Amino acid sequence: MDCVFCKIVVGAIPSYKIYENDHTLAFLDINPVSPGHTLVISKKHYSNLEDIPEKELCEMIKTVKKVGKALKDGLGVEGYNILKNNDPVAGQIIPHNHFHVVPRKKDDNLSQWPQDKYKEGEADNISKKIIKNIN
């Protein structure tokens, strides 16, 4: 078992656990974007979003919701971002399915990624390619 998150699940690596149930575990990220930055993981190992069964994904989202409310109530933050890096090219460092729940406050100087506009006809072409592959 080389997965650091699997080691956290079994207690081989210590963590600051926030919440745990039969399917999920939430703990503080050791490299937080902001204080309270929490990771929500599935207890079973799945590499990414496509690998996890829908039932377990639903359990993860329920835990994300609980953690988000706890961040707002416990830390007094005004909101939070839910982030999912899926696969290495998207920034996923640990190959174990997880969500980041990042507390946000007004004027916290955290920024979103840059946005752009589609070129003429580009959105139509891209949407058709995606629709063709929806199962």
Which residue in the list 37, 96, 98, 100 is annotated as catalytic? 98
Full-prediction pTM beyond 0.75? yes
Provide the total of helices (H) and of strands (E) in the chain, helices listed first.
3, 5
Q: What is the CATH number of the domain that holds 14?
A: 3.30.428.10
Q: Which residue range is the domain that position 77 belongs to?
A: 4-132
**Sheet strands (E) in 15-89:** 17-20, 24-28, 38-42, 79-83
pLDDT digit string (tens) for 5-31? 999 999 999 999 999 999 999 999 999
How many residues appear in the chain? 135
C-beta separation of 63 from 21 below 8 A: yes
What is the average pLDDT across 71-86? 95
Residue whose tokens read 């990771």: 39
Q: Does 50 score more than 80 pLDDT?
A: yes
User: Distance (Å, rounded) from C-alpha 22 to C-alpha 42?
Assistant: 9
pLDDT digit string (tens) for 83-102? 999 999 999 999 999 999 99
Instruction: Please return the burial class of 85, using the count of CB atoms within 10 Å of its CB with bins 0-12, 13-18 and 19+.
Output: middle
Tell me what pLDDT residue 53 has: 97
pLDDT digit string (tens) for 26-49? 999 999 999 999 999 999 999 999
User: Distance (Å, rounded) from C-alpha 94 to C-alpha 76?
Assistant: 29
Active-site residue flag, 98: yes
Tell me what pLDDT residue 113 has: 76
Total count of domains within the chain? 1
Residue whose tokens read 């329920």: 62
What three-state secondary structure class fits 82?
strand
Tell me what pLDDT residue 134 has: 84
Instruction: Please return the burial class of 78, using the count of CB atoms within 10 Å of its CB with bins 0-12, 13-18 and 19+.
Output: exposed
